Structure 1
Amino acid sequence: MTTDDGTDGTDGTDGTVPGDGTESAEPGAPAEPQEQERSHRPVSVFLVDDHALFRAGAKAELQSISDEVHVVGEAGSVGEAVAGITRVRPQVVLLDVHMPDGGGAEVLRRLRGELPDVVFLALSVSDAAEDVIAVIRAGARGYVTKTISSAELVKAIVRVADGDAVFSPRLAGFVLDAFAERPGAEPISDPELDQLTPRERDVLRLLARGYAYKEIASELFISVKTVETHVSSVLRKTQLSNRYELSRWATDRRLV
């Protein structure tokens, strides 16, 4: 039924009643908080995993359940990852730990110094302590296993992008044991560090502290030539190329 003024008898022009929360915003009115949140730029993500099927599934799943992340690239090998991440410069890299040509730690070794703003989150089937410690020491900001739910993975990505460290519950203890050096904690092995002899570690420790070769020789009661031999051996074993990289590598492993 219409009224004398030509309306249909309701208070709203679209069948809604003012005050019930469904009326349209006035022109020029600020967006509702939830609309502002949805307009935030999603976290850009780069996937690194040697299984193409997993990458395809992870990409589809992540982008279907949330607008908080956006996959901007992917790679199946260390070489592809280094090239792609350097080109795209994502906010977060989801990084597989084990790959045929070196794995996550190798990707981190090549990129950490060049791209300090890129955050790496390890995503692996492995929950072995040595894998966790190796990749965290290499520079990853967190480590989660592939048993994680899609929703929790999105949360983990957003958190590391915001500066938090994220670990699957059981894995956090490994990191505490390795870096806090709690009394009675079982030592965690580092495959890269374990390959050095005690004398090579001594030389590396002094080198990272800024000692010259002659000073190292004097401190350890060995010849300068022997120091040079040890440094060459350490460079070969760690696949590093200069003293600066060795110093940073030693500092990361708390040898200094």
Structure 2
Amino acid sequence: MIKIGIVEDNAQLAKDIQDKLALGEDMTVLWEEKDGATALKALDKGEIPDVILMDITMPVMDGIEATRLAKEKYPNLKILMLTVMDDEKKLFEALKAGASGYLLKEVKPHLLINAIDDVLEGGLPLSPSLASMALNYLKSKPKVQENLPPEMEKLSKREQEVLQWLKKGMSVRQIGEQLFISDKTVRKHLEHIYEKLQVHSGREAIVKGGL
């Protein structure tokens, strides 16, 4: 049996999800929680489902933060966002947090069941309206070099990402939007980059980093 965890604060929507899952022959709901914080507590008790169906907008702790924290502690956990939010920014935030897929709650039962199977096989199921957004995002994301120059190895992975975006001509604001961090955080990363590479500008950092 495929064990499912449901994180949904709306009782009627949670019941609708259970009704859809009931049409699958090999699925059982291990637990149902009303917010991200209680879902994390369920995980910490050792109640680890095969797939979590995670809402985004919830009290106490939203689904994206819960996904990020859950993936830090349980990196192999599969989390499928199930939301009413047909929103590009939320999609990218969820993927960066470690979500294994993103579906709208209006999804038909057989498509939800197929998506769960897809997630377990390593796929990334997305609602059709969001698939092209994700594809464009993945195409535009700069690739981190596998064999990094010695100077680049001094930088953290996030600092490498910031420098990659800087090379593409992005401003501080644009880098923050791509990485879903504040302008202040981007500037702090740049300060660390300049300090580690012993340079005084973005152009010098790009050259010294061998980009």
Normalization by structure 1: what TM-score? 0.59
RMSD: 2.5
Partner of 2:106: 147
Q: Distance in 2 between matches of 1:164 and 1:128?
A: 21
Partners of 2:187 and 2:53 in 1: how far apart?
Answer: 37
State the Cα distance separating 1:174 from its structure 2 match.
1.4
8 Å contact kept, 2:35–2:63:
no
From the CA coordinates, give the structure whose radius of gyration is larger: 1
Residue in structure 2 matching 1:202, options 186, 190, 195:
190
- Alpha-carbon separation, structure 1, partners of 2:178 and 2:39: 23
2:68: which partner in 1? Answer: 109
After superposition, residues 169-208 of structure 1 pair within 5 angstroms as: 169-181=128-140, 189=177, 192-203=180-191, 206=193
Separation in 1, partners of 2:36, 2:13: 16
CA 94–118 in structure 1, closer or farther in 2 if over 3 Å, else same: same
Is residue 27 of structure 2 the alignment partner of residue 69 of structure 1?
A: yes
Equivalent residue, structure 2, for 1:84: 42
Alpha-carbon distance, 1:130 to partner? 0.4
Question: CA deviation digits over 1:41-62, x for unaligned, max 9?
Answer: x211100111122212311331
Residue correspondences, number:
167
Kept in 2: contact 1:91–1:117 (CA 8 A): no
Cα deviations by residue, 1:211-246 (Å, 9 ceiling, x for unpaired):
9xx636x4348xxxxxxxxxxxxxxxxxxxxxxxxx
SS at match of 2:25: coil
Task: Summarize deviations over 1:176-229 as a string: whole Å, max 9, x none.
Answer: 2222118xxxx894584145454124146x3xxxx9xx636x4348xxxxxxxx
Deviation readout 1:100-124 (Å, 9 max, x if unpaired) = 2331111122111211221010100
Which one has a larger percent helix, Structure 1 or Structure 2?
A: 2
Return closer, same or farther for 1:135/1:70 CA change in 2, 3 Å cut-off. Answer: same
Task: Tell me the residue number matched to 2:126.
Answer: 167
- Corresponding residue number in structure 2 for 1:28: none
Moved more, 47-56 or 73-82: 47-56
Give yes or no for the alignment of 1:131 onto 2:111: no
> Which residue is equivalent to 1:215?
196
| Structure 2: tracts of 5 or more residues without a match | 142-173, 202-211
The alpha-carbon distance between structure 1 residues 101 and 203, as it changes in their structure 2 partners (threshold 3 A), is farther
Give the structure-2-normalised TM-score.
Answer: 0.70
- Is the contact between residue 8 and residue 58 of structure 2 (CA under 8 Å) also seen in structure 1? yes
Aligned-residue identity in percent: 24
Could you give the per-residue CA deviations for residues 10-61 of structure 1, whole angstroms, max 9, x where no partner exists?
A: xxxxxxxxxxxxxxxxxxxxxxxxxxxxxxxx21110011112221231133
Gaps (5+ residues) in structure 1? Answer: 1-41, 222-256
Distance 1:138 1:196, change over 3 A: farther
Segment of structure 1 superposing worse, 117-126 or 82-91: 82-91
Which residue identity lines up with residue 76 of structure 1 in the other structure? Answer: K
Amino acid of the structure 1 residue aligned with 2:135: L
